[in-house]
Amino acid sequence: MTAREAGHPIRPLSSGRPKLTVIGTGYLGATHAASMAELGFEVLGVDVDPVKIDALSRGELPFYEPGLSELLRKHTGAGRLRFTTSMEEAGVFGDVHFIAVGTPQKAGETSADMSYVTAAVSAIAAAATRNSLIVGKSTVPVGSARALNALAQQHKRQGVRIEFAWNPEFLREGFAVEDTLRPDRLVVGTDSPEADRLLREVYADALSRDTPFILTDFETAELVKVAANAFLATKISFINAFSEVTETVGGDIRTLADAIGYDARIGRRFLNAGVGFGGGCLPKDIRALQARIGELGLERTMSFLDEVDKINLRRRDRVVHLVEELLGDMNGKRIAVLGTSFKPDSDDVRDSPALDIAGRLYTAGAEVCVFDPKANENSAKRFPRLDYVDSTEAAVSNADVVLLLTEWRTFKDMKPGDIEDLVKHRRIIDGRNVLNRVDWENAGWTFRALGLKVPGRLADVS
Ligand code: NAD
């Protein structure tokens, strides 16, 4: 190591604040890039997908996230935020390189596909023309950051110093901008004082509001992210397991959740019984965690997550069974599906319970008419044969049964009178427990919900 390598702090070549790159400009990366520009940094977003980069460069967001389009347009317009497919350009431009590429579930396996992260880290390490910091934000199996740091050191240019940190991301789709600009905590795993210093500079705005900054080692930082997701998934499956109980014995799952939620040690959030979790994070993250822990020889330690996953997937079966009970043979029956995104205020349909259910009903012979306020296009890429329409009214028109599967506000606010003259039969399944059952039953609807005992269908417990 030369004296310059060892002693030269990572300082921007130009005066002023460090220049940032964000490698991978999907849901996480595009949000991070635009939010960092909003905080006053010069940012360069990098992706291997030229179509995405062209759209972002024109200020067009290729997905839906509240408030993000406005930030993107503002900062691409001002020239503070640019996009490229060139890693070389990023290597010349940046002092801090954020890695935000995908870590999807491997095809046919439960472990995470690390090939995108490995490629991105090696490429930026090789491209960096001056001392710089690589910061991983993607969700990775424990042990990855240490190995990726070693990889970066192998690929870096002679005379260039690369510092390394892992800074997991906790943003929620639907609140991504707010969560990035005002995070509830910052977690940084590193053994580098330079990385610590630079990241405190990058996150100075949040730190000025006393946001907790948790400086730790690589392993803890990696585990914090997957532990948080495993906990949230468990909480959802916990209440959904009780749904299976109330479906059998009776009782009100919403009141149960409210009542235990008043206990501050438990809390009410993430206790909404329904079709379960989905999206690009929770399902694959709990599977990857189990896979990684298994590789470490600790198979039994996380085996409860297998049950969490199974409870979650059984909720989808339950909706299909409820439809079968109501309709009998599904051939030729018309089913209205309201909502296909995995959660409201997002167009993300990755592992979406709603879209999975819609596809299964189609496969069973039904004519499935779908409306999602933002996710029709993404849904059609996965299930082109469903009938996509542009309004609730068009979706429910002549329906034998209506399914509310994603709790967009427009569906939550729906009243029986809004649609009762449009449907063929007044039957509704509330897959998110957001409608008022009494109102619907009083209006003459057959009402079903997850966690609700079907009247006269299952044996009473005496
Ligand atoms: P995404 O699929 O939307 O985006 C990933 C992007 O990386 C794509 O645009 C892809 O083209 C690009 N990419 C792949 N290889 C590349 C390479 N070598 N160089 C440059 N770009 C490359 O995924 P996402 O939802 O943004 O998730 C990214 C990571 O963040 C994952 O690990 C995920 O678990 C984690 N995460 C996501 C969220 C979320 O809400 N989406 C929240 C927290 C953490």
131-142 pLDDT per residue, tens: 999 999 999 999
pLDDT at 5: 47
Nearest to 95 by CA among 47, 137, 130, 136: 130
3: pLDDT confidence band, cut at 50, 70 and 90?
Answer: very low
Residue 265 has pLDDT above 90, yes or no: yes
- In ligand 1, the atom with minimum distance to the C-alpha of 46 is 20
Please state, in angstroms and rounded to a whole number, the distance separating the CA atoms of residues 155 and 118. 11
- For residue 25, report the distance from its CA to the centre of ligand 1, in Å: 7
* Rounded CA separation 450/247 (Å): 7
**pLDDT attached to residue 461:** 44
Atom 15, ligand 1: which residue's CA is nearest?
Answer: 116
Dist. CA 62 → ligand 1 center (Å): 13
C-alpha to C-alpha distance for 220 and 92, rounded to whole angstroms? 31
Classified as helix, coil or strand, 130 is coil
Q: Where are the domains positioned within the chain?
A: 3-7+17-215, 231-449
SS3 readout for 167-200 = CCCCCCCCCHHHHHHCCCCEEEECCCHHHHHHHH
> 230-265 burial by CB neighbour count: b if 16+ within 10 A, else e?
bebbbbbbbbbbbbbebbeeeeebbebbeebeeeee
Name the packing angle between helices 218-249 and 253-261 (round to 10°): 140
Residue whose CA lies nearest to ligand 1 atom number 39 = 28
Show the tokens assigned to 40. 């006053």
Contact 93, 19 (CB under 8 A): yes
137 Cα–ligand 1 center, Å: 9
Average pLDDT of span 363-385: 98
Q: Which residue has the higher pLDDT, 11 or 314?
A: 314
Q: How far is the CA of 103 from the centre of ligand 1 (A)?
A: 7
Other CB atoms within 10 Å distance of the CB of residue 432: 24
Integer Cα distance of 384 and 202 in angstroms: 43
What pLDDT does residue 360 have? 98
Q: How far apart are CA 77 and CA 66, in angstroms?
A: 19
Q: Given the CA of residue 63, which atom of ligand 1 is nearest to it?
A: 3
Which of 404, 410, 447 has the alpha carbon at shortest distance from 425? 447
DSSP classification of residue 351: T
The average confidence (pLDDT) of the chain is 95
**369 a catalytic residue:** no
Q: What confidence tens digit (pLDDT) does each residue in 185-242 have?
A: 999 999 999 999 999 999 999 999 999 999 999 999 999 999 999 999 999 999 999 9
Distance 28 CA to ligand 1 centre (A): 6
- In angstroms, rounded to a whole number, what is the distance separating the alpha carbons of residues 40 and 308? 42
End-to-end CA, the chain: 78
Determine the atom of ligand 1 nearest the C-alpha atom of 284: 34
Alpha-carbon distance 431 to 409, whole Å? 14
Q: Using 50, 70 and 90 to split pLDDT, how confident is the model at 14?
A: low
Query: Hey, what's the torsion of the CAs at 283, 356, 405, 333, to 10 degrees?
Result: -170
What number does the ligand 1 atom closest to the CA of 171 have?
A: 42
Query: For the structural domain made of 3-7+17-215, what CATH number should be given?
Result: 3.40.50.720
The residue annotated as part of the active site, out of 281, 338, 366, 429, is: 281
Q: What is the position in ligand 1's atom list of the atom closest to the CA of 173?
A: 40
pLDDT band at 7 (very low <50, low <70, confident <90, very high): low
Q: Which atom of ligand 1 sits closest to the CA of residue 103?
A: 32
Q: Residue 409, exposed/middle/buried by CB under 10 A (0-12, 13-18, 19+)? A: exposed
Is the separation of the CB atoms in 61 and 81 below 8 Å? no
pLDDT of residue 331: 95
DSSP calls for 383-406: -TTSEE-SSHHHHHTT-SEEEE-S
Taking CA 380 as the corner, what is the angle to CA 377 and CA 381, rounded to the nearest 5 degrees? 90
Predicted confidence (pLDDT) per residue in 435-454, tens digit:
999 999 999 999 999 999 99
Q: Which pLDDT does position 112 carry in this prediction?
A: 97
d(CA 225, CA 140) in angstroms, rounded, equals 9
Q: Is the separation of the CB atoms in 45 and 22 below 8 Å? A: yes
Average the pLDDT over 91-116 and give the result. Answer: 97
Distance, CA of 75 to CA of 81 (rounded, Å) = 5
Alpha-carbon span 328 to 365, nearest angstrom: 11
Q: How far is the CA of 238 from the centre of ligand 1 (A)?
A: 29
Pocket of ligand 1 (CB under 6 A): 23-29, 46-49, 52, 100-103, 116, 119-120, 138-139, 169, 171, 173, 280-281
What tens digit of pLDDT does each residue of 235-253 get?
999 999 999 999 999 999 9
> Which atom in ligand 1 lies closest to the alpha carbon of residue 176?
40
- Interval between CA 56 and ligand 1 midpoint (Å): 15
Mean pLDDT of 291-306: 95
What CATH code is assigned to 231-449?
3.40.50.720
Rounded to the nearest angstrom, the distance between the alpha carbon of 165 and the centre of ligand 1 is: 18
Asked if the domains at 3-7+17-215 and 231-449 fall in one CATH topology, the answer is yes
pTM: 0.95
Indicate the length of the chain as a whole number: 462
| DSSP string of 234-288, one letter each residue | HHHHHHHHHHHHHHHH---HHHHHHHHHTSTTT-STT---SS---SSSHHHHHHH
Q: What would the mean pLDDT of 331-359 be, rounded to a whole number?
A: 97
Residue 154 to residues 7, 87, 125: CA-CA distances in angstroms? 19, 17, 8
